């Protein structure tokens, strides 16, 4: 359950991929990394996930160094392990063997117990005309919302 309003979303994932399935998982972080996450200093845009040897890893997710840390601060782009059940990992590994499917970080947040959680999606890449349709739908929704707001 997400009680925190401060969540970091990968808006690019909605634009680039069709969501096939969504997984809610934990992530292994160091002390300075969790402090930066709580400040919202995370960039998911360049990140991607992959499965290897029964484990799922996230690469290129940028967590900014913590300002108040000492000389032993974390590497911003280090490889981080994603915590999932064995059943979910097996499901992901079998799905990733299909052509055109990829695992993308979608949203990161701190749950009500104080743990960092990551939502990852199994997605299929959109073609150029699909992206145009997404933009068109977003524009029409925005126009409709403006019209509804103006009518009250």
pLDDT score of 132: 84
pLDDT at 11: 83
pLDDT (tens digit, 9 = 90+) per residue, 12-47? 888 888 888 899 999 998 888 888 888 888 888 888
Q: Identify which of 57, 34, 32, 59 has the alpha carbon closest to the alpha carbon of residue 44.
A: 59
Q: Where are the domains of the chain?
A: 8-126
d(CA 64, CA 74): 9
Q: What is the pTM (predicted TM-score) of this model? A: 0.74
- Residue 130 CA to residue 135 CA, distance in Å, equals 9
Which candidate, 108, 121, 118, places its Cα nearest to that of 41? 108
Query: What Rg value do the Cα atoms of the chain yield, rounded?
Result: 18
SS3 30: coil
Residue 4: predicted pLDDT:
44
Could you tell me the mean pLDDT of each successive run of 10 residues in the chain, 152 residues long?
Answer: 65 84 90 86 88 89 83 82 92 86 90 90 82 84 86 58
24 strand-pairing partners: 119
For residues 18 and 41, what is the distance between their CA atoms, to the nearest angstrom? 26
pLDDT score for 1: 45
Placement of tokens 């052509």 in the chain: 99
**Residue whose entry in the numeric block shows the structure tokens 């309003």:** 5
Domain 8-126 has CATH 3.30.530.20: no
Pair 47, 12: CB distance under 8 Å: no
Q: What is the pLDDT of residue 2?
A: 46
């Amino acid at each position: 359950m997400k009680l925190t309003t401060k969540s970091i979303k990968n808006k690019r994932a909605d634009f680039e991929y069709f969501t096939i399935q969504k997984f809610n998982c934990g992530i292994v972080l160091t002390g300075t990394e969790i402090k930066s996450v709580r400040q919202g200093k995370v960039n998911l845009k360049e990140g991607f996930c992959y499965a290897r040897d029964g484990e799922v890893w996230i690469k290129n997710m940028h967590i900014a160094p913590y300002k108040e840390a000492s000389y032993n601060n974390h590497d911003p782009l280090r490889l981080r392990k994603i915590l999932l059940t064995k059943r979910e990992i097996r499901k992901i590994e079998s799905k990733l063997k299909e052509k055109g499917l990829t695992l993308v970080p979608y949203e990161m947040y701190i749950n009500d117990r104080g743990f960092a959680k990551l939502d990852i999606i199994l997605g299929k890449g959109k073609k150029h005309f699909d992206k145009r349709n997404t933009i068109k739908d977003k524009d029409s929704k925005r126009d409709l919302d403006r019209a509804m707001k103006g009518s009250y």
